[in-house]
Structure 1
Amino acid sequence: MTPEEVGRYAESLPGVKRKGTESRPAWYVRDRLVVRLDDPRTLVIRVPLNKREALLERHPESFGVPPRMEAHHKVEAYLDHARRAAVREAIDLAWEMQRRDPPGG
């Protein structure tokens, strides 16, 4: 999957807008991060902690969690190895999590 394909897919989701810079674009819904290109071959995707482990088990070639992200709702997706369907699944999880109203909101 290419960064351009990631952008097209993210922007196809309702309410998602591109922000960031030319070299590090990011896609947000309601000003909440969904996915960001960290470098030309690595994405950072917000993923609910309660669904992250299952995602990693289903797609070990696509995702990883470096030590700096262990406590956060994030995974890295490795575009050189990631399956398109796996990246889309993670982006969908992020979009679902980030588009929800906050408690009491």
Structure 2
Amino acid sequence: MTPDEVGEYAESLGQVRRKGTATRPAWYVHDRLVVRLTDPTTAVVRVPLGERDPLVEADPDGFGVPPRMEAHHKVEVYLDRARPESVRTAIHLAWEMQRR
């Protein structure tokens, strides 16, 4: 997926708003992070811990959990390698978790 596609999908979900900067845009629902681009090929998505490992296992080239994220509800997404449907699934999981 491209960064624009990430933004389009995130903004298609109810009550999601874009924040952040031009170089590091982020999308939030109720002021809670859903997804943030860290660079043109990498995004951080906030997902339930119970869903993180299945995401990584289903698309190991597209997702990773760097040591700095291990204790957090976050997964790194490598947009140039991840399957688009996997990225959308992760963003949707984040949206579900954060909109409550």
TM range (shorter): over 0.9
Structure 2 spans left out of the alignment, 5+ residues:
none
Task: Supply the AA of the counterpart residue of 1:35.
Answer: V
- State the number of aligned residues: 100
1:5 corresponds to 2:5 = yes
Separation of aligned partners in 2, 1:54 and 1:81: 17
Q: Secondary structure at the match of 1:85?
A: helix
Q: What residue in structure 2 maps to residue 78 of structure 1? A: 78
Structure 1-normalised TM-score? 0.93
Instruction: Please state whether the residue corresponding to 2:60 is helix, strand or coil.
Output: coil
Deviation per residue, 1:1-48 (Å, 9 max, x gap):
100000000000000000000000000000000000011110000010
One-letter amino acid of the structure 1 residue matched with residue 5 of structure 2: E
Structural mapping, 1:1-105, within 5 Å = 1-100=1-100
Gaps spanning 5+ residues in structure 1: where?
A: 101-105
Runs of 4+ in 1 over 2 A off after TM superposition: none
Deviation, structure 1 residue 59: 1.1
TM-score (norm 2): 0.98
d(CA) in 2 for partners of 1:7, 1:69: 22
- Structure with higher Rg: it is 1
RMSD: 0.5
SS in 2 for 1:18: strand
**Percent identity at matched positions?**
72
